[in-house]
Structure 1
Amino acid sequence: MKASPKTKSLISSLAAVAVLGTGVVGASGQAYAAPGKAVGRCVKTTAYYQPSFVDVAVKNNCKSTVKAKVIMKYGKDSGCMTIKKGKTRWHHGKNLATYSKTVKC
């Protein structure tokens, strides 16, 4: 039986999570989205991966309040979050969810 491309992608993602283990895996200085939809450079996003979940922190270092949404791969996206200047909001992804990008909303 031959594995489909979708199954191969899922297996690759699982292998990456298994190899990376726990702790902070990646941080994004600027998240990318469709043209005109990316959050500003002053919004910092960090993904904290654990074996069965991921927590994503979105910190607003801008001079004013921003609205942002966390986009997940293999998981539920966050709702539109209003983040005040200097504050951090969190999004929790379960099971196979991986952080994809942060966009304006």
Structure 2
Amino acid sequence: LDQCPATAEVLPAIADAVGGKMTILVDGGIRSGLDVFKALALGADAALIGRPFVNMVYGGGAEGVRVYADKLKAELADAMAMCGAHSLAEIRRDMIFGY
């Protein structure tokens, strides 16, 4: 969608407007554990990842999916450690530069 704002641009406003009254799932462009961290910090309750898993199935079958899932987990853990978040619940918007 060429003329639409990126998910990360509108996510904080959506999270603020919802005020915890519903679950926010973000999708689109999530490719790494750092992307997951950013989505959670900006207000998502969870990040959906589709296309990369499909690519991993075609490229490496079940092993490809396992390797990719392990990579996501490690990247998310690294981002959390660098920002001082010991659990997903501790990820905050102010951990993202500029917010």
When normalised by structure 1's length, the TM-score is: 0.26
Structure number with the higher helix fraction is: 2
Structure number with the higher strand fraction is: 1
When normalised by structure 2's length, the TM-score is: 0.27
